[in-house]
Structure 1
Amino acid sequence: MRRAAWAIIGLAASGLAMGQEGSLHASASGEVRQPGSAVYPSGARLSQVALAAKVNPDAYLPGAAWLRPSLKEVQLRLKTGVVFELGVIRMAAISDGHEALGVSAAAFQAWIASLPVTGRRTSVVLDPDQLEVSPPDNWPIKEGDALFYPRRPAGIRIVGAVEKPCSVPLEALQDARRYLAACPSSKAADPDMVFVIQPDGTVFPQNIALWNRDPARVLAPGAWIYVPFNRKAIATSTDGRFNEDAAAFISTQLLDTAGAP
């Protein structure tokens, strides 16, 4: 009898352990009616977290963010590399007497260094209704994942090789390059292109010079324009992908809204 009792207890404990192993924690914040962490079964998908959070009708879905802790390590390496290369650009500019490039690199380096490493997975759909009807968009979640739903912002931000970072009002159907008039580029800027970063984190290079101009690209509220550093001026100081890496790190940032994790 005693042996049978211990066997029953052992089976119960094993079942409890299996139940714990078969669950995970995920959370939601921002413009939701049910913020906080909750337990989900192993294999749960984005739609389950989004629906459980009860996203507010006025949440800005194009700027919603999916945060995954396991992505922070690679994003930290990306940030560290960008900050390091900016230091190299700055020192080389000082050595060569390129004052404008040195000043712009120092300012952008300080700004990048101040940004958080978020773990955001970019270019994903987080509209709860769409997730339910679109299996390819309804990705499985993992332990510690979080969803953030911001409010709709009013403008766009311009950073990079500019005299100073700008936040400018959004104008309906205006091409990205038209915003540059409101935020003067520095002498360190590449004259031929910019990077457009939409609120979901998707990055688009856009040629803007007369000789290579791309079709107009309309920005959504909360988008970024990254004005890159002149590729020729920084060619000997970087690995050739500095501007792409800088734009990629900016794309991981959340919209500046109360309630961001």
Structure 2
Amino acid sequence: MMWRAVVAAWVVMLVALPAMAQPPSMSASASGEVRQAGSAVYPSGARLSDLALAARVDPDAYMAGAAWLRPSLKEDQVRLKAGVVFELGVIRMGALSDGKEALGVAAAAFQSWITTLPVTGRRTSVVLDPDALEVSPADNWPIKDGDALFYPRRPAGIRVVGAVDRSCSVPQVALQDARRYLAQCTVSASADRDMIFIIQPDGTVFPQNIAAWNRDPPRILAPGAWIYVPFDRKAIAASTDGRFNEDVAAFLATQLLDAEGAP
């Protein structure tokens, strides 16, 4: 009878093995300028190229602004946004108590605006062109459950935000240095006059010195880039942890290009 029990155990194991061998599945999605939008199920070990190719990205999609969204990144981005909003409140209150009206007004306006921005979970500075992913294993990252790709349309403008009297969008000009866009927007008296932050459409951030004494080589902006005009570091030093402007630029880098079909 013992041998029958052993055989039975082996049969159960053999039946269970195919099911055990099946890799766990996960759901991922694509949206924007794609022909196959929506969620689909992928096996464990699937990579960005699998998701991008399955989405059938439209040839007119703007690859420079494509976004990879990962839910697990949202927690850190929530904290980043909360820290920026809180410090803006501290800057505003400190400015008002010190009689620095321009700084207080600029901080209040920027706080009100940045509060409206979503937390996206975007992972920045990645290659998302389906063809490029197929030939570049280093860029072809594994995907996880809940991941999403978004392919926008090509925008036409550059957005200027931060220590300005009013956030503005200006036309992108081929080969124009980033600092020259500032002439089309009114920079606040509370701005840092020596530098700006450039956020390219893929979320890569570049600080750029713009004063006559420290000017960096020209930097060309792609359509859809941001220019963040930072607040004067000396004026906000007592109200922040010293990385306020860098944190603002990092949060702006997580934003998606405005386009139909954005998640």
Q: TM-score range by the shorter chain?
A: over 0.9
- Per-residue Cα deviation, 1:149-190 (whole angstroms, up to 9, x for no partner): 000001110000000000000111000000000011101100
Which residue in the other structure is 1:200 paired with?
A: 202
Which residue in the other structure is 2:257 paired with?
A: 255
Which residue in the other structure is 2:63 paired with?
A: 61
Once superposed, what is the RMSD of the aligned Cα atoms?
1.7
Which residue in the other structure is 2:25 paired with?
A: 23
Which residue in the other structure is 2:232 paired with?
A: 230
Distance in 1 (CA, whole Å) between partners of 2:259 and 2:176 is 24
Q: Does 1:150 align with 2:152?
A: yes
How far is the alpha carbon of 1:41 from its aligned partner?
1.2
Q: Does 1:191 align with 2:180?
A: no
Distance in 1 (CA, whole Å) between partners of 2:116 and 2:153 is 23
Which residue in the other structure is 2:248 paired with?
A: 246
Match for residue 89 of structure 1 among 88, 91, 109 = 91
What is the identity, as a one-letter code, of the residue corresponding to 1:121? R
- Per-residue Cα deviation, 1:86-140 (whole angstroms, up to 9, x for no partner): 0000000010000000000011111111000000000000000000001111111
What is the identity, as a one-letter code, of the residue corresponding to 1:208? I
Which residue in the other structure is 1:163 paired with?
A: 165
- Residue 235 of structure 1 aligns to a residue whose secondary structure is helix
Say if 1:9 and 1:114 are closer, same or farther in 2 by CA, change over 3 A: farther
Which residue in the other structure is 1:133 paired with?
A: 135
Which residue in the other structure is 1:124 paired with?
A: 126
Distance in 2 (CA, whole Å) between partners of 1:9 and 1:36 is 39
What is the identity, as a one-letter code, of the residue corresponding to 1:91? M
- Residue 115 of structure 2 aligns to a residue whose secondary structure is helix
How far is the alpha carbon of 1:16 from its aligned partner?
3.9
- Per-residue Cα deviation, 1:33-92 (whole angstroms, up to 9, x for no partner): 000111111111100100000000000000000000000000000000000000000000
TM-score, length basis structure 2 = 0.94
What is the identity, as a one-letter code, of the residue corresponding to 1:181? A
The residue correspondences of 1:169-184 to structure 2 (distance < 5 A) are 169-184=171-186
Match for residue 49 of structure 1 among 38, 48, 51 = 51
TM-score, length basis structure 1 = 0.95
How far is the alpha carbon of 1:6 from its aligned partner?
9.5
Structure of larger gyration radius: 2
Distance in 1 (CA, whole Å) between partners of 2:11 and 2:115 is 57
Which residue in the other structure is 1:219 paired with?
A: 221
What is the identity, as a one-letter code, of the residue corresponding to 2:30? A
Which residue in the other structure is 1:99 paired with?
A: 101
Say if 1:13 and 1:225 are closer, same or farther in 2 by CA, change over 3 A: same
Q: Gaps (5+ residues) in structure 2?
A: none
Q: Give the length in aligned residue pairs.
A: 260
